């Protein structure tokens, strides 16, 4: 928990997760950063203080989490927000009115809604959706006013991958900022900044928090210029992460590598089990050799992650009945927690997309998305078996 850990090449991922960017509390010697539930801080003289003046601008608990996630992503600096979408909105604030974004065609429904139903109206933002695995398509979509290339890898919900180094190279070539939503992988599985991406965004609610008990977002940047711009925007727009959630997110970071290894091991086992199941049409998981981008996954991810998508041999009503039958796996929004969750993107995570767009992206009523937790695999497969038996 010392400064030398942050830049040490000797510190392994678990050591960095526990100690990276952290300091012993100076006032008490506490090993864990306390929850500083205070709105303001005493100044020795006007403008002279200990680095903290007002809790929207700075908070020690939030700062500790930001240092930890910056270290986890090997970034220059990080900023914590009240939700993943609040973090995404702050990134969009970097761009002038009337800008354009080239975005993944397989995109989280909330991001699509933010681009098309909020910022198109309020900031005249335009978005073009392309296959992020196709460099030619990305290049062809870039306009003079393009501010961002914005991708998810793996994507939500179909787990498509993008070559991070190829995307970063296109961004540098055209002078466009590259943004990667790393929520589905987490920095324990993939670190886009190490592939020259400019900005990483997370829903902290998911794997980083990891326990279904907080909502939060984070941005990690690669250089000082972006740090200055995001620091201004975080303070100016005010969508900050509160101290208690920051404390829980910091706790989550410390066990992230251990949890992600278990998530990945379990997800691979479940994906293989589903692939052999007679009631399953198709399984999508980067760790499977059947995934069309499996080789890319092995190059830029430490494992296949904890998310599995599957098309059932079922109609819409049968799919709904399967989802209602789960006993251990919870039918719920969100993902990335220690408990396994299941959802139907058609009506849940991507329900805000127009039906034609959902169908064009391969989001059909018989698609289910599984967030595989850290339970025993045998219990998960037993629950899957009894739920699928209705088909």
| Among 25, 52, 56, 213, the one annotated catalytic | 56
Q: How far apart are CA 149 and CA 114, in angstroms?
A: 15
Element (H, E) at 251: helix 243-275
Q: Are 243 and 37 in contact (CB under 8 A)?
A: yes
Long-range contacts of 253-258 (CB under 8 A, 24+ apart): 253/17, 253/65, 253/68, 253/69, 253/72, 253/208, 254/17, 254/18, 254/68, 255/17, 255/210, 256/17, 256/72, 256/186, 256/187, 256/188, 256/207, 256/208, 256/210, 257/13, 257/14, 257/17, 257/188, 258/14
Number of H helices, E strands in the chain: 14, 12
Q: Which of 16, 36, 71, 108 is catalytic?
A: 108
DSSP annotation string for 340-359: -EEE-TTTTTTTTS-HHHHH
108 is catalytic: yes
Q: Is the peptide bond before 110 cis (omega within 30 degrees of 0)?
A: no
Active-site option among 181, 198, 242, 383: 181
Yes or no: say if 217 and 88 are a contact pair by the CB < 8 Å rule. Answer: yes
Give residues with Cβ within 8 angstroms of 299, minimum separation 6. Answer: none
Q: Does the annotation count 181 as an active-site position?
A: yes
Which of 62, 160, 206, 279 is catalytic? The answer is 206
Please report, to the nearest 10 degrees, the dihedral formed by the alpha carbons of residues 239, 334, 179, 107 taken in order. Answer: -120
Coil, helix or strand at residue 362: coil
Q: Give the active site residues.
A: 56, 108, 181, 206
């Amino acid at each position: 928990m010392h400064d030398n850990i942050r830049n040490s090449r000797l510190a392994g991922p678990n050591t960095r997760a526990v100690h990276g960017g952290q300091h012993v509390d100076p006032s008490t010697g506490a090993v864990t950063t306390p929850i500083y539930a205070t709105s303001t801080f005493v100044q020795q003289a006007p403008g002279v203080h200990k680095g903290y003046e007002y809790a929207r601008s700075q908070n020690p608990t939030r700062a500790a989490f930001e240092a930890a996630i910056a270290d986890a992503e090997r970034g220059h600096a990080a900023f914590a927000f009240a939700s993943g979408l609040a973090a995404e909105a702050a990134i969009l604030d970097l761009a002038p009115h009337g800008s354009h974004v080239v975005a993944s065609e397989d995109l989280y429904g909330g991001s699509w809604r933010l681009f098309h139903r909020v910022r198109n109206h309020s900031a005249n933002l335009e978005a073009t959706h392309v296959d992020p695995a196709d460099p030619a398509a990305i290049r062809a979509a870039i306009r003079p006013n393009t501010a961002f290339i914005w991708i998810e890898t793996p994507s939500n919900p179909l787990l498509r991958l993008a070559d991070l180094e190829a995307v970063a190279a296109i961004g540098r070539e055209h002078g466009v900022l590259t943004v990667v939503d790393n929520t589905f992988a987490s920095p324990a599985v993939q670190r886009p900044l190490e592939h020259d991406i400019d900005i990483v965004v997370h829903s902290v609610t998911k794997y980083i928090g990891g326990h279904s008990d907080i909502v939060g977002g984070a941005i990690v940047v690669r250089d000082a210029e972006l740090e200055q711009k995001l620091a201004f925007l975080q303070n100016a727009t005010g969508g900050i992460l509160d101290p208690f959630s920051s404390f829980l997110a910091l706790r989550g970071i410390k066990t992230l590598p251990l949890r992600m290894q278990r998530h990945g091991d379990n997800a691979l086992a479940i994906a293989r089990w589903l692939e052999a199941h007679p009631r399953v049409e198709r399984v999508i998981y980067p760790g499977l050799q059947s995934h069309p981008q499996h080789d890319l996954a092995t190059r830029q991810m430490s494992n296949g992650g904890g998310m599995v998508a599957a098309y059932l041999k079922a109609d819409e009503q049968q799919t709904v009945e399967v989802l209602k039958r789960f006993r251990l796996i919870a039918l719920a929004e969100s993902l990335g927690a220690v408990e396994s969750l299941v959802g139907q993107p058609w009506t849940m995570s991507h329900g805000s997309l127009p039906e034609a767009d959902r169908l064009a992206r391969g989001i059909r009523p018989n698609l289910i998305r599984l967030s595989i937790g850290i339970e025993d695999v045998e219990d998960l497969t037993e629950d899957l078996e009894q739920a699928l038996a209705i088909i």
